[in-house]
Structure 1
Amino acid sequence: MIGNIKKLSNKAPIILTWVPRVYGASLLNGKNSDLSYLDIIKNHKLTNEEERDIYLVINGPGFEENQIDDLKRELKGMEGVHVVDLHQYDWSEIDTGWKVDGEDISIKDFFKNMYNMSEEQRMYFAVEIDTFRLIALALSEKMTGEKGAIYIDFDSLKAIDTHIGKDITISKGILLGQVTVHVNQESGKIIKTDLNNDLIAVSCPSIAINILAQYKREILSQEKMCYELAERLSRFMQREESQFFTACKRLEEEQLWDYETKRLVRVIKYGLKKIECTIGDLKNGEIRKLYEPRVLRYMQHPEVSMNLGQFYTVEVIRSELIGQDESKLKLFCFEEDNGNYVYIIDSDLSWARRENLYHKQVKSELEKVQVDQMELEDLSLK
């Protein structure tokens, strides 16, 4: 998956995508969200003086006809800004070998018909939107005439106060926005990475095509995903609980059991009970539990994650970095290669809202009591 192109063309476009969760769901407009996606596009193109073309790539079957016309009308007159229905293009190059629950599918037909499917039949929405962005990159040359492209999330684009970058080096064929590493102080080698797919720059479509090929046969429906995730969470929590209670015993033996430690232990025990309940609900096929904040947090761990599009995108770079010198980070980091990127601590998780997503203001499940927000991602107390 190594590209031969060392520089990303200054004409390589910016790609933004929108996949409605339900049929007719409009883009975020500042009324149904804190973000206005069209304003983000306008501001970046005009205020930030972006010279690259911007493509808003949509899943057309999820739109009412007048909605697409309204989008084009809203952006009409903005030179270098395009609204594109990805279904206008030939997907045959990437539309083979796809399976859901082991059954053969056409991925293009899936994105066309998904709005008529039950929740049980649908993919996890994060898989749908992350797969769609990779397909957009895979078909980007057909859309734009340029081999390379830069995908970016709307909230990540909003955070940039200048153009996205010029004369960008892309020596390994792919760059990500968020690339941070943890290094063993003795060996100087990378032992852990923190990566995200909110920005993906590729030198050619084959990079995205190869990522899709890594997981196109592994996709589960939400119905089957509930049971698989319950098993993964159970195994993960058994290990974490063991480490947690070992740490508690050590603290007690070393007489480090102060007030703050006791408080923290209570919070962790509460979190353990909550996740046990969630695992039980998943085993009972409760799809809504897939979108709970605590589940989203645990799915950040590779051994739990079932967000296949994100996992296999970042795995390309993780596998290149683990065990290497810290200096190798530069080969894959957009910022280190003349790109402009701002890491967002609290990225937009509005995709996790389900039923009437974006039709109306929905109370976010992320607004939980403080103790839920304090659940430890690492339970070991080390």
Structure 2
Amino acid sequence: MQHELDTVINRYGTDCLKWDYMEKWLGVPEGKALPSWVSDWDFKAPEFITQPLQERLDHGVFGYSERNEEFFSSVIDWWSDRHQVTLKKEWFHTTQGSMPAIAMLLESWTQENDQVLVMNPVYHAFFRTIENTQRTLVSSNLVNDNGYYSIDFEDLESKFKNGVKAMIFCNPHNPVGRVWTEEEVTRVCELCHQYGVYLIADEIWADIDFSEHRFFSCLRMEEHLMQKMAVCIAGTKTFGLPAFRLTNTMIPNEQEAAPLKRKLLAYGIDVFSSLSLSANQSAYRQGAKWVDETVAYLKQNIELLDHFVSSELTQVKYIKQESTYLAWLDCREMGLSDDELQQLVQDAGVIPSMGYGFGDQGTGFIRLNLGCPKSILEEKIKRLRTVLQ
């Protein structure tokens, strides 16, 4: 297993967004830098995923497909075993990714110009979706206490009192890497219930968990706290399957799910890719040991970066994340503008995600992808050493 994750896979020439499209989106020519921006990993899929895909390819007929009982039970059993969550088949609403689901939920549950809240800094696509559904963005800034982030519940409640209609809750949080505690998750859900705010929780990072307290899902709330709630779950990050574009959005309240169901039918999202269904079903059934070993490998990468930052860098801070394979590095003490910081790391031959893309609270930060073989991370560190020391 260690050997497989150490293996460097050449992703150039595969239409890979992260490797092949740096020049198109970032102006960086191919081969000039190591990409560390897009949040997918560079590990080869295990045989328990590729084998059923090969069987589908060998069959050779690619018609319309539906979700069978084993598809539902594989996800239900995984979430029961790993997260002590009891899912129900009738809660499932399957879409081609989490962001389409979130966009359709905003269109279903809110009106144009309604206020939608996120906790800043946060995954940049949330901003884009709120803007393009013509909703009004409201930010509640996370509290950064020497690198450890927490929720400002006083500010959150104040924003709710001022008319917020929906909240997008990143749990675990991208980019700051927090696994919110049971107490924090419960308080968010209680406030949403108290003020009638729709809660849309993105929990696709749930299985990449390094925390001591362990991930706690919104779907473990008491029934009355789940009446205006949707939770997006996926194997995307767990098994490295973003290419298959499959998210299951859980909505416990059937009445509140009705508008989304109508949208899914209107947009023709009622049949699915047989390849996507096969990959996900097999992964959930056979992937437990592999996921545990991959998370352990990612933790080694975190320790490697932490040692570099703590022992060699005086103006950069890194608080090891509790989730995700995305390191959130605080470079503000370097005294550079975002443009200067971006040029500095780009000249070193590393392309991270710049923190300002995650909201104004990300200014002066970079997000570095650690989901790669150790040798690639060592090369990233070698290059960053030349400019960050």
Normalised to the residue count of structure 1, the TM-score between the two structures is 0.27
